[in-house]
Structure 1
Amino acid sequence: MSAPQERAALTSRPSLYSYALRLAQEQPDRPFGGGHPLPDEPPGPERAGLRGKHAFAAVEVALAPLLAGPDTPAASAELHRCLVGLPVDDGPLVGAVLTMDLADEAAARAIGRHLTRTGTTRRPVSVGLALLRRLGEPEDVPYLKVLSGLRQLFGLVMAALEPLDARTAALRRLDAQVHSPETRPLVDALLSGDRREIRSRLIRQPLGPRTLGARQARWIAEALGLPALLNGDPVDPRLLAQAGRLLSRVADQRADRPELLSLSEATAAFDALVRRAVALPPTVEHAVVLLSLALDLHSGQAHVLPWRTGQREQLLDTLGALLLCPEWTSTVRTGPDADATPAVRRRAVWLRHTAEQVFGAAEPPGRLRIEVALPDPDDAVRVETRFLLDGRPLLPEAFGHGPGDDPDYLLDRGALRATAEPREVKLAEASCTEGCCGALWVTVVRADDMVVWRDWRRRGAPPSRSPEPPEYRFEAAVYDVELTRASGDHGWEWPGRTTARLLDSALRARPDLWTRWGLTFLSAYTDFRDPERVVVTYAEHSVDGSRRWFDWRPADDGPPAERVARALRRIAEEDPRTYEEYRN
């Protein structure tokens, strides 16, 4: 298609904004979150598809002069023509616009608006949306709402809309992306605006990790206007408890991004909930909710929210005064009955340990504090290691794409021990695995009387909102004391976890138990579906280089020491390949 033909085709088409507005008026009952496809576009020229830094450089060279032009309509027309032939795919094009230097932000904002409201094809509108994501103002919200009805532009529109109107963006995301039978009734209530129905549905909403992810939980919190809901009268303990569970879901460290840090009213929601927490009856369920929030204020994402001076500490003091008062002490610190189920026992251990961890410190932590944390054990049990550096948690800001690594690697197997030989240590890994969204690595080395954490790497991780951590230096003697303290603190363990730790250590110390059978020990751990069930993994190497894998689940009756001794005797006496309780 020639340039004159291209201009004729574009001028004869309505803008995508006009197209979306017409569809919204003609079909008001259709979902307004990305419900409509884009119209067919005229064919464009073949593009070479520059990638990486070459693509970003080409975009900046081509667009920077045009985005600084004083004549917005003329600059926009020239941008249309330039974008048609720019040899860059749409993804790198938008990425470059989001990061390039802008000489005149007011001019770039005006051009972004012009492209967004008059662009007739996807590419110029996408560039306009990228500019509004950086520079948008409240007057852009009505136009973004209309464009949110177009499926292929939905993500870009939401990224531009969210900083300007978080509640509307959340409603549209929920409408477009949440269809599960457990959560859709609450979404429909939110879309209706019926406050009575919203409260009723929220109280009944399942909020476990298998039902609702952290991102969906954040959208629901945004759409609810959580602080206003919590500050309403009368105080409903059921609503308070659900709001607390919802905040805990948003703050889930296992999410692939720190969702709580993106919740626009997070500090106000925490403040409103804690101030009214006294209305909650002292039950185990309510203690779990309040301690989960306290743990996050202590060492999770909530710690690094933009608090007023002293506000976070005041909220923790309020929670501590409530949970450690006589009415709550028996709930938080009393052990389970002798005939309690393993799940009830795990929760009782968690309540006692978490209360001590958050509220029991006799003196402020030093330069480095290492703690083991786990969520409510009624959720899928995922144990993580957290690091407080100068009193501030490291991972939410330095990584944010998953929890700290398991203490069996960082503490029990000595990964954090410092020697004169520099060693790279993985502190955290994305919940979806390092190969997908990366991990945070640091080099640990002992230099004379100091231990140094240096050469940080966010291997494979998406760009972080925070700069790379600085080099940290610790007095070696103090570092060793802290590492010994953290490694020896097993007060959070339940019997299955204790058994797995002791068995793993014993089997690593006795490789002869396996070599006599021609096997290699791999690890011992607890099954996430059944935390009391220990799994022992090992492998057989064949002469052709192939491997045969085994998962053995020893009997789970008896105290941990007895279970370990029984497993060791059996391995010494019987070929582990003959066990009935294995899977290969």
Structure 2
Amino acid sequence: MGSRRFGAADQALFDVVARRGADNAALIQGACQALIDGLDSPALRDLAGASVRDRPTDVHELVVAALAELDIPYPGTIVGPLARRPGVDVLRLDIGPADDGSFQVRVHVNGAEMTSAGAGLGMDPYDILIPTNRLVATAVPTRSPIARCGCGVYGCGSTDIAIVRDGDLVHWDWLLEMPMGRGVSFAAADYDAEVDRVARDHSWETPARTAGRLVLTDLDYDRLAAFGLKPSWVANHYRYPERFLVALTIRDDYQVFVTTPWRGRGPEELARAVHATLAAPPAKWNATWHPTRPALTGPPAIAGRSWRRERI
């Protein structure tokens, strides 16, 4: 990026392009408004003069060219705000149940609930708070999901945020399905306090959720990666709630399930039992496996004699 100072006009054009579902009409109107606001480049003029009947791919090429000429990052390639907005917005976060039986992190900005206004449903705490708090703001821009489709699947519908710390401010820019037409900015001290508060609040947790948090927080991820394993999810078995499952993947080839019975234990004791099991070599686990590619008919190479195939 160049040294030009970005302003409100740059931000407005960025926001139009970042909005999921922005069609030819919205992009052309955004270009016209950008010219009115004082921006100018050959591709921007071509975009403003395009027709709503033009092929979307042709309009997209003009959008990419216009942003490049104006030295504005394309949304999702370089995340973060373009203008230093005043920190007048207020953030509140809470965690509650979702209709599908899971939990969701709800995001409120200035008293308005953003997750339902975006993709529809807040993200599961495991996806943005545990084991790493992805809402923590740093001077290096980061990107985090903030809402998923009402069906519960991220990707079917998605709202992301670009987060960056800018001195005493924290900026969010909305990406994909945008709940409002502008980015938001918070006083950094207030933002940090709220993000830390929600990460420390475990009052909503069920015993299984407490066990899951403890398991995910203290896993030896590097050791598992040495065997090609990556944790996928943790939860009670949906049919046998007396069994706690850790699901792992081996690349795009296999799912692996490690079961630990509750046996009347509390979440802390169960988590210790899970960690003890996973600290042993995988060949010694009492695990099940399932291929995710039809061509695979045998168990993974790390399987032990006690491993059996999971019927899904």
Q: TM-score, normalised by structure 1?
A: 0.32
Distance 1:457 1:523 in 2: 25
Deviation at 1:526, TM superposition (A): 1.3
Instruction: State which of 233, 238, 257 in structure 2 corresponds to 1:529.
Output: 238
- Residue 440 in 1 paired to residue 159 in 2? yes
Residue 418 of structure 1 corresponds to: 137
- Residue 409 in 1 paired to residue 127 in 2? yes
Deviation at 1:476, TM superposition (A): 0.8
How many positions carry a matched residue from both structures? 203
Distance 1:374 1:489 in 2: 15
Letter in 1 for 2:232: S
Instruction: State which of 201, 221, 242 in structure 2 corresponds to 1:489.
Output: 201
1:408-458: CA deviation from partner (whole Å, max 9, x where unpaired):
22223211110111112210011443443x21112110000110112x222
Asked whether the 8 Å contact 2:161–2:172 carries over to 1, the reply is yes
Letter in 1 for 2:138: T
Residue 567 of structure 1 corresponds to: 274
Distance 1:512 1:373 in 2: 32
Residue 582 of structure 1 corresponds to: 288
Distance 2:149 2:262 in 1: 31
Deviation at 1:515, TM superposition (A): 4.8
For the structure 1 residues 452 and 513, does the alpha-carbon distance in structure 2 shift closer, same or farther, using more than 3 Å as the test? same
Asked whether the 8 Å contact 1:374–1:382 carries over to 2, the reply is yes
Distance 2:93 2:242 in 1: 25
Distance 1:443 1:528 in 2: 35
Q: Could you say what the CA RMSD is over the residues aligned between the two structures, in angstroms?
A: 2.9
Distance 2:255 2:193 in 1: 39
Distance 2:276 2:155 in 1: 39
- Residue 370 in 1 paired to residue 93 in 2? yes
**Structure 1: gaps of 5 or more residues:** 1-51, 58-87, 89-365
Asked whether the 8 Å contact 1:425–1:441 carries over to 2, the reply is yes
**Structure label with greater radius of gyration:** 1
Distance 2:189 2:123 in 1: 24
For the structure 1 residues 431 and 553, does the alpha-carbon distance in structure 2 shift closer, same or farther, using more than 3 Å as the test? farther
Instruction: State which of 502, 513, 519 in structure 1 corresponds to 2:228.
Output: 519
Instruction: State which of 90, 104, 115 in structure 2 corresponds to 1:384.
Output: 104
Q: TM-score, normalised by structure 2?
A: 0.57
Residue 457 of structure 1 corresponds to: 175
Residue 215 of structure 1 corresponds to: none
Distance 2:190 2:242 in 1: 35
Superposed, 1:54-203 pairs within 5 Å as none
Instruction: State which of 547, 552, 557 in structure 1 corresponds to 2:253.
Output: 547
Deviation at 1:527, TM superposition (A): 4.3
Distance 2:155 2:128 in 1: 20
- SS of the residue aligned with 1:414? coil
- SS of the residue aligned with 2:249? strand
Distance 1:371 1:528 in 2: 26
- SS of the residue aligned with 2:121? coil
Distance 1:426 1:493 in 2: 21
Letter in 1 for 2:269: E
- SS of the residue aligned with 2:122? coil
Distance 1:569 1:457 in 2: 41
1:265-300: CA deviation from partner (whole Å, max 9, x where unpaired):
xxxxxxxxxxxxxxxxxxxxxxxxxxxxxxxxxxxx
Distance 2:120 2:244 in 1: 24
Where relative contact order (Cα < 8 A, 6+ residues apart) is larger, the structure is 2
